[in-house]
Amino acid sequence: MTTNGNMKNIYLYARFERLWHWLQTLLIIILLLTGFEVNGAFTLFGFGTAVEVHNFVGLTWLIAFAFFVFWIFTTGEWRQYVPTTRKMLSVVRYYMYGIFRGEAHPVPKRKEAKHNPLQRIVYLILAAILLPVQMVSGFLYWGYNSWSEWGLSWLSLQVVALVHTAGAFAILSFIVVHVYMITTGHTLFAHTRAMITGWEEVADEESVGDWEYKTKAA
């Protein structure tokens, strides 16, 4: 497998998608910093400020996420998150072996297929499980004083808090890997540039399988 030398720019990430991505980045960074302070890992803003900021930013994220959900369903982008096993092994093989040999990515990005099989499953778990769990547990944590009014007196703050903490570790760990993975484009900053401008430089069409498109190419 060799790289086709013909690179071309494609518009991969829509304006809203990029706004969403970077807004979420900012919110998550603030949430992690303030959240781990409340957890007792370190002192940065002061406990009281950390709690206030965390609550505000957390609720902001909840609202922003609603817009994301709306967007992903109205645009049909949700199809990019449908998991598949096809080419999964070759992607895994690529990151474990091929990348060191300078091989081309087995599943290059396309407008209609911007996630490789590994990304599909990771982003699905992230967007459909991890982030919602974090938001629900966070919202419950925030609403602790209203639990009896909400009929949730049976809930344990400890369980909610520990789920929320575990989620935070998972997200932090995702960020570590994610930040590293975006340097694996054909240049170190190719993917970062794409998420800022929307334009990604990719190899030409041939290497994309028909099955990967969310709609069949006309």
Site for another protein in 102-121 (CB under 8 A): 102-104
**Is residue 3 helix, strand or coil?**
coil
Q: Compute the least distance from the CB of residue 14 to another protein, in Å.
A: 11
Among 42, 74, 100, 206, binds another protein (CB under 8 A): 100
Interhelix angle for 15-39 vs 190-197, to 10°?
Answer: 110
Answer yes or no: are the C-beta atoms of 198 and 21 closer than 8 Å: no
Give the Cα separation of 15 and 20 in Å (integer). Answer: 8
Q: Helices (DSSP H) in 86-156: which residue ranges?
A: 88-93, 99-101, 117-124, 131-142
For residue 191, the one-letter residue type is H
Site for another protein in 32-71 (CB under 8 A): 38-41, 43, 46-48, 51-53, 55-57, 60
Q: Compute the least distance from the CB of residue 82 to another protein, in Å.
A: 26
Chain centroid to CA 128: how far? 10
Q: Which residues bind another protein (CB under 8 A)?
A: 2-3, 5, 7-9, 11, 15, 18-19, 22-23, 26, 38-41, 43, 46-48, 51-53, 55-57, 60, 95, 99-104, 144-145, 156-158, 161-162, 165-166, 168-170, 172-173, 176-177, 180-181, 183-184, 186-188, 196-197, 199, 201
